[in-house]
Amino acid sequence: MSGEERRVSGEERRASGEERRASASLEDRLAAFLAARLGADAVRVLAFERSTEGFSQETFRFDVEVACGKQRETKSYVAKREPVAGLLEPYDLEPEFRVLHALSQDPLPSPPTPFFERDPAVLDRPFYVMECLPGEVPVPAPKPDGSGPLDDAERKALAPQVASALARLHAIDWKAAGLGFLGAPGPGRGAAEREVERWAARIRAAALPTPPVLAEAVLWLRENLPACDEITLVHGDFRIGNWLIERAGERSRLTGLLDWEMVHLGDPLEDLAWCSCLLWRASGPNAGCLVPPDELAALYAVASGRTVDAARVAFYEVLALVKMSAIMLTGIRAFRDGRTTDLRMAIFDHQIGFLMAGLAMMRGHFAAIGG
**Residue 370 is assigned to a structural domain of this protein:** no
Q: Are residues 94 and 160 in the same domain?
A: no
Regarding whether 182 and 65 lie in a shared domain, the answer is no
Verify that 159 and 282 share a domain, yes or no: yes
Does a structural domain hold residue 110?
A: yes
CATH label of the domain that carries residue 351: 3.90.1200.10
Amino acid 20: pLDDT? 47
Instruction: Determine the Cα–Cα distance for residues 265 and 79; give it in Å rounded to an integer.
Output: 25
- Quick check: 21 pLDDT over 50? no
**Are 31 and 45 contacting, i.e. CB atoms less than 8 angstroms apart?**
yes
The answer to whether residue 27 sits within a structural domain is yes
User: Where does a domain end: 72, 102, 131?
Assistant: 131
Quick one: which of 324, 322, 348, 323 has its CA closest to 336? 348
User: Rounded to a whole number, what is the distance in angstroms from the first to the last CA of the chain?
Assistant: 61
Instruction: Tell me the pairing of strands 115-117 and 264-266.
Output: unpaired
**CATH number of the structural domain spanning residue 120:** 3.30.200.20
Categorise residue 241: left if φ over 0, alpha if ψ from -120 to 50, beta otherwise.
Answer: left
Q: At residue 335, what is the residue type?
A: F
8 A C-beta contact, residue 226 and residue 192: yes
Mean pLDDT of the region 138-161 = 94
With 50 as the cut, is the pLDDT of residue 8 above it?
Answer: no
Q: Is the pLDDT of residue 318 over 70?
A: yes
Q: In this predicted structure, what is the pLDDT of residue 90?
A: 81
Residue 368 lies in a domain: no
Residue 272 domain flag: yes
pLDDT at 360: 95
The rounded distance, in Å, linking the Cα atoms of 352 and 206 is: 14
Q: What was the pLDDT predicted at 85?
A: 79
Of the residues 97, 131, 165, the one at which a domain ends? 131
Query: pLDDT by residue (tens digit) across 301-312?
Result: 999 999 999 999
Does residue 12 surpass a pLDDT of 50? no
Same domain, residue pair 174 and 257: yes
273 domain residue, yes or no: yes
- Looking at 85-94, 147-156, 322-331, which range is the least confident one? 85-94
Asked whether 315 and 196 are in contact (CB, 8 A), the reply is no
Task: Based on the fold, state whether residues 306 and 198 are members of the same structural domain.
Answer: yes
pLDDT in tens, 196-249: 999 999 999 999 999 999 999 999 999 999 999 999 999 999 999 999 999 999
Q: Could you report the per-residue pLDDT of 117-130, keeping only the tens digit for each?
A: 999 999 999 999 99
Task: Return the SS3 of 124.
Answer: coil
Residue 93 burial (CB < 10 Å; 0-12/13-18/19+)? Answer: buried
| Sign, Cα dihedral of 285, 286, 292, 294 | negative
62 pairs with which residues across the strands? 48, 77
- Give the chain's mean pLDDT: 91
How far is residue 201 from each of residues 218, 276, 329, 351, measured CA to CA in Å? 11, 24, 12, 21
DSSP lists the bridge partners of residue 160 as none
pLDDT one-digit tens code per residue, 28-54: 999 999 999 999 999 999 989 988 665
Residue 371 pLDDT level (bands cut at 50, 70, 90) = very low
Q: Is residue 367 part of a domain?
A: no
In this structure, the answer to whether residues 66 and 203 fall within a common structural domain is no
Q: Give the burial string for 256-288 (b: 16+ CB within 10 Å, else e).
A: bbbbbbbbbbbbbbbbbbbbbbbbbbbeeebbb
Q: Do 110 and 236 share a domain, yes or no? A: no
Do 171 and 314 have their domain in common?
yes
CB-based contacts of 86, cutoff 8 Å, min separation 6: 55, 56, 57, 330, 331, 334, 340
* 16 phi and psi angles, rounded to 5 deg: -65, -40
Q: Which residues pair with 325 in a beta bridge?
A: none
Q: According to the model, what pLDDT value does residue 230 have?
A: 95
How many domains does the chain contain in total?
Answer: 2
| pLDDT higher than threshold 50 for residue 168 | yes
Name the pLDDT band for 23 (thresholds 50, 70, 90).
Answer: low
Q: Are residues 121 and 236 in the same domain?
A: no
Q: Which domain holds residue 14?
A: 3-131
Going by pLDDT thresholds of 50, 70 and 90, the confidence category of residue 56 is: confident
Task: Give the model's pLDDT for residue 343.
Answer: 87
Judgement on whether residues 174 and 294 belong to the same structural domain of the protein: yes
pTM for the structure as a whole: 0.90
User: Is 160 in the same domain as 119?
Assistant: no
Summarize the confidence of residues 184-203 as an average pLDDT.
97
Q: Specify whether 116 is located in the same domain as 161.
A: no
Percent of the chain's residues with pLDDT above 90: 79
d(CA 291, CA 185) in angstroms, rounded, equals 31
- How many other CB atoms are there within 10 angstroms of residue 157's CB atom? 20
Decide if 161 is inside a domain.
yes
